[in-house]
Structure 1
Amino acid sequence: MHGEFFLILRKSSNYFAPYRFPHLTRTTMIDKSKVTLKDIAKELGISVSTASRALKAHPDIAKETVRAVKELAEKYQYVPNSLAISFRKKKTFNIGLVVPEIVHHFFSNIISGAIATANQSGYNVMVSQSNDVLQDEKAAVNAMLHSGVDGLLISISNETVLGEHIQELMHAGKPVVQMDKVTDHLKTPQVIVDDFDGAYQAVQHLIQNGYRKIAHFRGRPIVKNANQRYFGYLQALKDAGITPEKDWVKHCVQINEAEGYRFAKELLEGPNPPDAFFCITDLVALGVLRYLKEQKIEVPGEVGLMGFSNWKLAEISSPALSTVDQHGYEIGVRATQMLLDSLAGASISSDAITEIKTNLVIRESSGRKKVQQQTQEALVGNN
């Protein structure tokens, strides 16, 4: 009987030794519906545990072995019995993920990073959204608990403060990792961005381009990352010797385009109009931009504008919107890996904080103030 041969590296004590083995020929008859991992392991002359790790492409298993196992699994249409695995290991291999919005560029990036990382370790991700409403978040977390998820990733709603519903899940022995929007009332690991520095850099950029009367449309005071962006705004003004105008700070509740439009109209039609806007999100900034375009106010030149989040819409707006990139995909990856490490038995401090740096994305909307350009041109002409 002629068979095919593969070279794998079988681990033996402290080294990997070469091993050769045949597997069944194409003429061998087998009932595909009854194939088990044990059958695949037996055919290849390896242990069941090695075959299992090879299916997951474990780094300790040689690439040749991984290829051989996967080829045979595909040939026999082998599908792991997830229910049996879950029962044996007392795990569902599902993790929950709750975000304020699914159809949102930043949060969709978080979701993509989380799913990619979880899948690499054999986990599935159950995604739900809170709509930034506390009651919806409670319902989502409760559903996750009763579905038996092994752990939870969450970016809390704008209405969440104490998070008792999340605490219930933790009391059930489920690890939780908070991302982006977090509350310090919950003692869980956090993966956040440096919102303070991102805001500071954004406002400093506007100042360097000649804008001095900078308004800020901020988020709710009970939301930690909104506060950090507000504090970064204030610090940038202070360091530039600019006294902030209380009336130029507006509190967004819905954090949407309509609020940006309404506040821009209110300030620019008032007695002391600002010459630039720094907004809590790109969506709010796009509302400001809509008003400016309707009024035929030159952007940049007369008014400068900065958003926060780096939405795709910011890139294609006219003029293109300057913003702050939060690196959502990386947040998803880091938070999920932290949760997986916890599920694997790693000791992770409940006050562990992973902070990801932001970076400015400079586009047209924050270009130099026109008045300053004219002044500089006059100075050059006089010389």
Structure 2
Amino acid sequence: MSEKRKLTLKDIGRELGISVSTVSRALKEHPDIAQETIKLVKDYAETHNYVPNLLAVNFRKNRTFNIGLIVPELVHHFFSTVISGAIFEANRQGYNLMVSQSNDILKDEILACKAMLNSSVDGLLISISNETDDGAHLLEFLNEGKPVVQFDKITDKLPTPKVIVDDFDGAYSAVKHLIDEGYTKIAHLRGRKEVKNSSERCDGYLKAIQDHNLKTDPSWVKDCLKITDQEGYDFTKELMESENPPNAIFCITDLVALGALRYLKEFGYEIPKDVGIIGFSNWMLSRVSTPQLSTVEQHGFQIGMDATSLLLEMIKNNDVENLKTVEIKTELVIRESSELSKVKQAK
């Protein structure tokens, strides 16, 4: 037998004068096989660099041991931490993770889903795009018996389990912090109205304002469609140049908040003395901005781990009907951009 050709169970059986089934069971240390035979087979396999044919094993199990993950954007601090958590949990359980992005565009998300299906993934993790509504294209996975778990950005119109953060409470805590610091005119740069986590954060903002008997001006709530730093810059310019400017801004994400900071610094506002700013996500950039940005931690790594663990449990149980929702609590991270009380104490 040529050593260049990959060694098979049949080769081992022929060389040792035993059946293929005996070789297979010996490698798995089956209790029906004598220890002497197990040692003989394992020693031969090790000496001749035998590598199991995982493709054939997986085919017999009707699994590829690959799962898919689709996010709106790969180069994004929050989603990169989610991906890291997902890879960690997938590898821990013997699975590989195939990653793609939708660019927050429905058409691209549909193409990514088709690619995942064509790659025969065993299941899918997805944070839907801003353009996705009912997620009908994701039903193709369920129809083929492949479970889907949504995380972060989700739609309630799709019958799948979900792993989310408590966006309402995170936003409420952020705005309450601004109020406790002494800010009374708080604006909100929100996301799209039709996106669930954006709506939850806006609801948390409004409830905190209401509970503390403050008033808000409808013109203080701006809709960011692309969730960019430029929108943060442009909307902050509109707010501060209006007849009734706010003295604090709660932003849908840290990226938007960094755009707001850029405008305020460029036009000479003192932060947090003149205007307080708080974001959402706890990007790495929020820790190195000047001033450092207050924010809300979403625990992306934990989301990735929990979503993957849930998906793999469904795969093992052949379960596509699970509707469980896992909600992860956020954590308020207070930094310089909103600590008005420290400025007052320093006087």
The TM-score range, normalised by the shorter chain, is 0.7 to 0.9
Structure 1 unpaired stretches of 5+: 1-29, 52-68, 378-383
- How high is the TM-score relative to the length of structure 1? 0.79
Counterpart for residue 48 of structure 1:
27
Name structure 2 gaps, 5 residues minimum: 13-17, 19-24, 31-41
Tell me which amino acid in the other structure corresponds to 1:373.
Answer: K
Matched residue, 1:336: 308
What CA distance in whole angstroms lies between the structure 2 residues aligned with 1:75 and 1:222? 61
- 1:326 is aligned, of 292, 295, 298, to 298
User: In the TM superposition, what are the counterparts of 1:1-383 in structure 2 within 5 Å?
Assistant: 34-35=6-7, 47-50=26-29, 77-345=49-317, 350-368=322-340, 373=344
Q: Which runs of 4+ in 1 moved over 6 A?
A: 71-75
Q: Distance in 1 between matches of 2:102 and 2:341?
A: 40
Question: What is the root-mean-square deviation of aligned Cα atoms in Å?
Answer: 2.8
Structure 2 counterpart of 1:322, one-letter code: S
* Distance of aligned partners of 1:361 and 1:156 in 2 relative to their CA distance in 1, 3 Å threshold: same
Distance, in Å, in 2 between the alignment partners of 1:73 and 1:100 is 45
Distance 1:309 1:78, change over 3 A: farther
Verify the 8 A CA contact 2:159 2:321 in the aligned structure 1.
no
d(CA) in 2 for partners of 1:77, 1:358: 49
> CA offset at residue 79 of structure 1?
3.5
Give the distance between the partners of 2:290 and 2:130, measured in 1 at CA: 30
Deviates more, 1:88-97 or 1:273-282: 88-97
Paired residues of 2:148 and 2:320 also in contact (CA < 8 A): no
- For residues 109 and 349 of structure 1, what CA distance do their matches in structure 2 show? 28
Judged with a 3 Å threshold, the aligned counterparts in structure 2 of structure 1 residues 293 and 163 are, in CA distance, closer, same or farther, namely same
Measure, in 2, the Cα distance between the counterparts of 1:72 and 1:190: 48
The answer (yes or no) to whether the contact 1:301–1:369 under 8 Å persists in 2 is no
- Give 2:207's aligned amino acid: Q
Say if 2:163 and 2:306, in contact at 8 Å, map to a contact too.
yes
In structure 2, the CA distance between the partners of 1:365 and 1:168, relative to structure 1 (3 Å rule), is same
Counterpart Cα distance in 2 of 1:343 and 1:180:
21
Q: Percent identity?
A: 58
| Equivalent-residue separation in structure 1 for 2:276 and 2:63 (angstroms) | 53
Cα separation, 2, equivalents of 1:373 and 1:325: 26
In structure 2, what is the Cα distance between the partners aligned to 1:75 and 1:207? 71
Q: Does the CA-based 8 Å contact 1:304-1:369 persist in structure 2?
A: no
**Structure 1 pair 119–50 and aligned structure 2 pair: CA distance change class (3 A):** farther
Label 1:367 to 1:146 Cα distance change in 2 as closer, same or farther (>3 A): same
Letter in 1 for 2:157: H
TM-score, normalised by the number of residues in structure 2: 0.87
Alpha-carbon separation, structure 1, partners of 2:239 and 2:344: 24
Q: Is the 8 A contact 1:302 1:369 kept in 2?
A: no
Using CA pairs under 8 Å that are at least 6 residues apart, name the structure with larger relative contact order, 1 or 2: 2
